[in-house]
Amino acid sequence: MYLRVIQTTSPSKMMREMLVAYYQTNYIPWVLSQGCLSGRFVNVDENKGMLILTFPDKETALKVMELRKEDRAEIKKSHKLSRMEGKTAFFMEG
């Protein structure tokens, strides 16, 4: 599996809530339809969070990243984004 983590910093709590609503109702359902296995958003602070996407492989993750570039550009106008990604070394659940 391949994980992409996008850290977000919004100018305000309200702007973060609007971003979360967009991810929940628009972006994550779309990315799931493109081969993503799961998506979740973690609230870190009043205006910070992390979007965590799980893909079956790097190729699928790269394919998805190439699509909807204009959406990312629009989000970057109001929110600071940083991305980390990589192949899963191990995974455990209890």
Query: pLDDT at position 68, please?
Result: 86
Show the domain range for 19: 2-87
CATH classification at residue 28:
3.30.70.100
Tens of pLDDT, residue by residue over 63-89, are: 999 998 898 899 999 999 999 999 999
**Does residue 94 fall inside a structural domain?**
no
pTM over 0.95: no
Q: What is the mean pLDDT of residues 37-43?
A: 96
**Does residue 15 fall inside a structural domain?**
yes
**Does residue 92 fall inside a structural domain?**
no
Confidence at 91, pLDDT banded by 50, 70, 90: confident
Query: pLDDT at position 78, please?
Result: 94
**Does residue 93 fall inside a structural domain?**
no
Q: Look at the chain and report how many structural domains it folds into.
A: 1
Q: How far apart are CA 82 and CA 76, in angstroms?
A: 10
Q: What is the mean pLDDT of residues 28-52?
A: 96
Q: What is the mean pLDDT of residues 6-26?
A: 95
5: alpha, beta or left? (left if phi > 0; alpha if psi -120 to 50): beta
